[in-house]
A = this chain, B = another copy of it.
Amino acid sequence: MSPAEILATNLLSPVVLAFGLGVAATLVKSDLEFPEALYQSLSIYLLLAIGLKGGAALSVTPIGQFLGPAAVTILLGLVTPLTAFAFLLGVMRIDRINAGALAAHYGSVSAVTFLAAVTFGEATRVPSEGFMPALVALLEVPAIVVGLLLARGASARAVREEGSGSWAGAIHEVVTGKSIILLVGGVLVGWVAGKERMAPVEPFFVAGFQGALTLFLLEMGLVASRRLRDLREAGILLVAFGTFVPLAHGVLGVWGGTLAGLSEGGAAVLGTMVASASYIAAPAAVRIALPEAKPSLYLTASLGITFPFNLVLGIPVYFALARIFGG
């Protein structure tokens, strides 16, 4: 396909269109609202389903094939917070605390962006390895820890003072937070049970998956667009950060994935993962460890800027890159 076609395929996919519908609904001030419980239920379902799928795939993957990509993923999880942090301190002159908070978000990964990439790969017949979800789990944690460490120096005070951020609490939150428990737990369950025993649950977790994702992206559209008005305050610099850094990370990810021996689709999906910014695990941990960091800053960047950017433009770009690096 030509780049133009690739872009079209992405823009015309149900998930992206559903996201657009959510944005439109907010713009016309519709009273459309998802019940809190539906949002929570869909994220539980999606995270668990990713995990189960990845685990089942892992159970039939020769371990050797997995180690390379796993190592590269962890490495990327340690490096990307540093690059983001450097950019924020150096170029944008943001204070350590907020820089560390943002670094944690941009080092970590957004599960939904990951899913959009996998879906795109299937639609364009560039499938990715079945065990990719296991890599999501590996990428999510380290980056957040590094990000907090970077901010730490400045707020060491906070550790002692009660009522302010707690280091221990944050680490516990990162590792036992619901997104990790569902993702890692799902991988373990799927891996231990094995492909065959998972068969009976597939109609629910596999067949229903794409549709549930579409519904979720409609809600994401409603949520993300509520952040748009914060963009003005955020300013052009944040927009620059929220698009350039993901692109840079994406290149790094696709390149690393290719070196690690992932298929074209796998490299593209890994690139998307690295390019994406967390907005579930990271915000929770940052609120605990760095309560003085500005949520308006990191939520607006990750959710209002980077999420839509990757969903609409980033993903096709990372797939194009994977083709180039691959061939």
Contacts and interface: CB of A to CB of B under 8 A. Distances in A.
Of residues A37, A119, A178, A189, which shows the largest number of chain B Cβ atoms within 10 Å of its Cβ?
A: A189
Interface stretch (A27-35, A149-157, A224-232, A239-247): A27-35
Nearest to A208: B204
Interface string A185-223: 100110011100110111111011111101100100000
A200 B31 contact: no
A26 to B, nearest CB: 10
Contact of A31 (B33, B177, B209): B177
Interface stretch (A40-48, A158-166, A251-259): A40-48
Of residues A35, A48, A201, A202, which shows the largest number of chain B Cβ atoms within 10 Å of its Cβ?
A: A201
A14 interface: yes
- Count of chain copies: 3
A211 B46 CA distance: 12
Nearest to A38: B41
B38 A176 contact: no
Interface string A18-62: 100100110011111111111011001100100010000000000
Contact of A176 (B29, B201, B204): B29
Contact of A201 (B172, B200, B211, B284): B211
B178 A32 contact: yes
B218 A211 contact: no
A185 to B, nearest CB: 4
A25 B211 contact: no
A215 to B, nearest CB: 7
Interface string A101-120: 00000000000000000010
A178 B211 contact: no
A193 B36 contact: no
A211 to B, nearest CB: 2
A194 B175 CA distance: 42
B200 A119 contact: yes
26 contacts: A12-B192, A12-B193, A12-B194, A14-B52, A14-B198, A17-B192, A21-B181, A29-B176, A30-B176, A31-B173, A31-B178, A33-B178, A35-B36, A35-B37, A35-B41, A37-B41, A38-B40, A41-B41, A44-B215, A45-B215, A122-B200, A123-B200, A203-B207, A203-B211, A204-B207, A208-B211
